[in-house]
Chain A
């Protein structure tokens, strides 16, 4: 394994052991080298001493040519066990005497070498002059050869000691290092393990334990801090993702509802336009023709009723995405009272009918006396509550309970919208079959039903439309098999723009007024103008927005201003809004009433132009028309 891949523990160990071994080795090496040099010098000195004394002693024997005595002198060297050979050469370089006497000739140099001491392999050889100092006479040369066993023995001993010392110091270093290296390796290993655990499990809540305040401690702190940041960012990211998903779902849902609503209101517009002349003529006939035969009157009444039925059906459809009717006042509503009424009105369904089926449904009301009055339209809210109760009854097939509670509560947080104050909350919960996720998501869609042939798919859609018009929020909790809870949040009194309340229908014919009727639908134009003429008004018609504006100009030039302009909203090129603006620009005194078949969606709060005084739905009823005309003569809008 390459060094950089070895575990840090082993690296530290290797460093410690290596360092201590090298240190001991160098120490021992220096010591050994010193000993080696010293010992060599000592050996040379010893041999010098021995050689000098032996040479001095042998001068006599040499001088007087006495080999026997010389041999005797040399044989005294046997006490020096390191001397392996010795010899005396005479002045002519001839071998004079030898030691040991039985050694072969090859042991001794044939000729004496220059004086001095020299190390040759494993030996120290010395050539010492044999001189009689008195008279300064040289008689020959002494040869001494000493083995270096003592040196080698000592080096071997020292080597052994060094070996043992390295062994012991390594052992001690190993033990100490094992104990002490933890100071460095433990935090690093802990850090590495933490990092591994995090990368394995993706759990950023893990923290490395901090060992101290050194660099490793700082490293660990920085690491932990980094983890905190990652965790924090993860959390923020997850939060942002959740919010985004929720928002996206809400937007998708709204878009779908809006699309369906547009389709529904488009259909409603066309039907309403189609039936408007029929209704107006029938009403006119019934009212103004006293000579009708009884049979004709019956038929006309039946036709009127049939048209009313059609209008009602279409009305239900458009309930879904209807804008709040501007002429209807949003008044403080006591929700508790509405709930009691709705419960009473639906008693037939949850009490009597279920008893007939042999199913017991208990209705519990828990109404908070502290509930603030909500701003809204009583009839619509009541209708919505009735729808919710019906749904709850339908959800309970084998008995159970329906609970309706009220309280002040915060509406659910919608991302991107500021938190408001407390809302009036109505909670309708049942112990029925519940809804799965798909159903829960789509339950507000028009024509979506789980009741098969029995259901219209408009109940909750109507509720949704009502809530939209009231700026109310809805929250649905549902668990399959456990039940459903629907909470409605209504804004409390004080924050919704009020519109004028129209005066009550006095029944009296209004005074004669100069009217301009603008519509691109000729049939409607004709029937409407006829009805107004019949009521005794001076009616001018214009088929289309531009024609209407032209008529306005003509009237102004003639100095005969209109009292009221009735204009359709949805017209090609020049629509009702522009007509209304032209009216106010031309003759500020002239009132404007907008007729709409809901072909265009108007947000009650913002989309009704300032120049419009009233808004009427198609098909316009004579009664409603008369209310508006009465208002023109009476006090204007507040």
Chain B
């Protein structure tokens, strides 16, 4: 019951926050609230998927510097989400880890993160980025068609307004990660031939 109440409160709080944020934007920009997100519906959906994936994946202990270290969602290359993703994860916690969004430039090298979104801008450099993450327990998420063949773990795509997963379970397992079967249930499971 306590869990349920907490969940309900949490849910209510996040809804309220999102509405408050939208209302604030509308007030500042002087435009209707519905027009507030500057990003497309596709990336709104993908931002949500990134957030939700943190709930459906398990990281090995060594992936975090400390037990209460933040869970960092890294975005490398051109940022398609803008502040939308930041607003979405603001105040959220997974276990003891606060959710944080970091953005990396492709040439700068990557800071510590647990989930890394590799955008379309990095197409062609994907395999190099992934190679650098080896052994760090980072869940890699991409959106290019050959993302898993390049060594990526989870490729997300939106078809007819619905999210589609293609997951390389072996790659994730090799990195010490576990992706929930609830996701695997409706994902396309692939194995990169390397």
Contact = CB atoms under 8 A, between A and B. Distances in A.
A60 B186 contact: yes
Q: How large is the interface on A (under 10, 10 to 19, 20 to 34, 35 or more residues)?
A: 20 to 34
Contact of A136 (B6, B54, B56, B58): B6
B55 A63 contact: yes
B92 interface: yes
B150 to A, nearest CB: 23
Interface stretch (A4-12, A64-72, A278-286, A373-381): A64-72
B163 A65 contact: yes
A146 B180 CA distance: 29
B4 to A, nearest CB: 6
B11 interface: yes
B4 A129 contact: yes
B182 A57 contact: yes
B191 to A, nearest CB: 21
A416 interface: no
Interface in B75-125: 92-95
B7 A134 contact: no
B52 A131 contact: no
A64 B186 contact: yes
Nearest to B95: A134
A393 to B, nearest CB: 137
Interface residues on B, range: 20 to 34
Contact of B183 (A64, A115, A129, A131): A64
Interface string A422-464: 0000000000000000000000000000000000000000000
Given A57-B182, A134-B94, A63 B56 contact: yes
B162 A65 contact: yes
A77 to B, nearest CB: 16
A60 B163 contact: no
B118 to A, nearest CB: 20
A282 B101 CA distance: 194
Nearest to A128: B4
A137 interface: yes
Contacts of B3: 131, 136
A19 B188 CA distance: 72
A56 B7 CA distance: 15
Interface string B1-29: 00110111011000000000000000000
Interface in A131-156: 131-132, 134-138
Contacts of B49: 64
Nearest to A73: B185
A137 B51 CA distance: 11
Contacts of B183: 60, 64
B185 A61 contact: yes
Interface in A17-67: 56-61, 63-66
Nearest to A92: B15
A60 B56 contact: yes
A91 interface: yes
A137 B186 contact: no
B8 A138 contact: yes
Given A63-B56, A64-B49, A65-B163, A131 B185 contact: no
A68 B162 CA distance: 11
Contact of B56 (A68, A131, A132, A138): A132
B55 A137 contact: yes
Residue from B162, B163, B183, B186 having most chain A Cβ neighbours under 10 A: B186
Contact of B92 (A59, A63, A135): A135
B186 A132 contact: no
Contacts of A131: 3-4, 7
Given A69-B186, A135-B94, A63 B7 contact: no
Contacts of B10: 136-138
Interface of B: 3-4, 6-8, 10-11, 49, 52, 54-56, 58, 92-95, 162-163, 165, 180-183, 185-186
7 contacts: A60-B183, A61-B186, A65-B163, A66-B163, A129-B7, A132-B55, A134-B55
Interface of A: 56-61, 63-66, 68-69, 73, 91, 115, 129, 131-132, 134-138
Q: What are the 4 tightest A-B residue pairs by CB atom distance, in nearest-first order?
A: A60-B182, A135-B55, A69-B186, A138-B7
